[in-house]
Amino acid sequence: MTFLECLDLIKLYVDQQSKIQVPALRGIELTVKEGDLIAIIGPSGSGKSTLINIIGGIDSPSSGDIILNEEIITKMTKKQLTQFRRHKVGFLYQTPERNLVWNLSALKNVMLPMKLTGRWSRGEQIRRAQNLLNDVGLEGRIKHKPHQLSGGEAQRAGIAVALANDPLLVLADEPTGELDSTTTLKIIEYFKLLNKSLGKTFLVVTHDNRFANMTSRALRILDGRIVGLHRAIDSELSLDIREEVIFVDDHGNMRIPDSIRREANIKNHVKLEMREGFATIIPVRGD
């Protein structure tokens, strides 16, 4: 049974000036297993935030469906979606200002989402918040307010907030966008650690290629499509060997990476021929 499934998600925005529809997602197909740690990597404007907001029930697709744990999110009413967001997903955004309430301590910040769902008694809220802050290495910072935390610490507090209601899924949108290199790697380590220790499913969207090696599977998103993936090759020697593969959809469509298109001087047409058992792409001149 698939845990999270996105079926042919399409999202069109209407450009306010020209009134023309702009596609942000052009048929996203995605499956995630429970307990997965998945990175979706792509440049700015590739549709990452749109995708994560739709999965988290903040935005709705123009067409397509999302199924999470046997519930069809895209068929939910507004009321159901509010409950879904509170109980089933945890969000982590790029800036601490968006993840944390500024005049509350780290502990109170983690307790806040629990207050909204009312699933735990006050004592349990405190205990859970302490444990979660402990899990992200902030046991010595529970009384600190966000401005007393470093950028990396604030993001770790944000992770604890995202986990507060024991969500099915944690969604992170550019969680290291404001952090330096060393801090970014540390945050990646915490994602890996929490994914393992709590068995929680994490979906991270980012432009940062360093997330590619974080997971057994990182997806590449470009122009609203999943175009490829970076994955660990099964190796009997258990060496960490990785490969980059291109996604071919059910209709046989694939995207030739820009670097190869440029180098091979491929314009709008190619010939495909079988040569010695390999499918060969041959640029066509004058197209």
Ligand X SMILES: Nc1ncnc2c1ncn2[C@@H]1O[C@H](COP(=O)(O)OP(=O)(O)O)[C@@H](O)[C@H]1O
Write out the residues near Mg ion by the rule CB under 5 A.
48-49
Cα angle, residue 278 at apex, residues 273 and 283 outer, rounded to 5°: 40
259 binds, among Mg ion, ligand X, none (CB under 5 to 8 A by kind): none
Site string for ligand X, 50-69 (x = CB under 6 A): x-------------------
Between CA 265 and CA 21 the distance in angstroms is 31
Which one among 35, 45, 140, 283 touches ligand X, defined by CB under 6 A? 45
The answer to whether residue 42 forms part of the interface with ligand X (CB under 6 A) is yes
Closest approach of Cβ 120 to ligand X, in Å?
Answer: 33
Residue whose CB is less far from ligand X, 22 or 246:
22
Which one among 48, 88, 128, 141 touches ligand X, defined by CB under 6 A? 48
Closest approach of Cβ 216 to ligand X, in Å?
Answer: 23
Which one among 6, 36, 39, 49 touches ligand X, defined by CB under 6 A? 49
Closest approach of Cβ 92 to Mg ion, in Å?
Answer: 13
Place of tokens 């469509």: 253
> Residue 282 in contact with residue 272, Cβ under 8 Å?
yes
Torsion of CA 196, 200, 201, 202, to 10 degrees: -80
The answer to whether residue 47 forms part of the interface with ligand X (CB under 6 A) is yes
13 binds, among ligand X, Mg ion, none (CB under 5 to 8 A by kind): ligand X
Closest approach of Cβ 50 to ligand X, in Å?
Answer: 3
> Residue 191 in contact with residue 37, Cβ under 8 Å?
yes
Name the one range near ligand X by CB under 6 A: 39-47, 81-89, 93-101, 188-196: 39-47
Which one among 4, 6, 9, 24 touches ligand X, defined by CB under 6 A? 24
**Residue from 90, 109, 113 nearest 168 by CA:** 90
Residue whose CB is less far from ligand X, 21 or 134:
21
Closest approach of Cβ 142 to ligand X, in Å?
Answer: 32
The answer to whether residue 46 forms part of the interface with ligand X (CB under 6 A) is yes
Residues 86 to 105: which contact ligand X by CB under 6 A? Answer: none
Which residues form the interface with ligand X (CB under 6 A)?
Answer: 13, 22, 24, 42, 44-50
